[in-house]
Amino acid sequence: MADKRHHDADDQQPDGDFGDFLSVLRVLLPAAQTLTAFLIILPFNGGFSQIQQGEKLIYVATFLCSICALILFSTPPPSIACNVRSRIARSSRTTRRD
């Protein structure tokens, strides 16, 4: 009986981690979108042609990093997807036993 309670506590922990992950993602994703939007319109400003070549390279690197951040923030990590699948499989096995 105590073994079952310990197992149930372990099952609840990933849900809390997933909720924490989603709350952080709700903050980071709009920030990355805003940064990318700013970087997209920057070359269309009149003064962009006056900056030096090194600064343009920094701009391109920053733009590529912001695009990568959008991609990474938009896709769930494989570990979370695997945890969700394993929880679904466990819950379907326990309902079959009952």
- SS3 for 37-89 is HHHHHHHHCHHHHHCCHHHHHHHHHHHHHHHHHHHHHHCCCHHHHHHHHHHHH
pLDDT number for residue 88: 72
What's the mean pLDDT when you consider all of the chain?
78
Query: Is the model's pTM score more than 0.85?
Result: no
pLDDT number for residue 15: 59
Tens of pLDDT, residues 36-73? 999 999 999 988 989 999 999 999 999 999 999 888 88
Domains of the chain, by residue range, sit at 2-97
Mean per-residue pLDDT, 21-50: 88
Given pLDDT bands bounded at 50, 70 and 90, which one contains residue 29?
confident
- Say how far apart CA 53 and CA 55 lie, in whole Å: 5
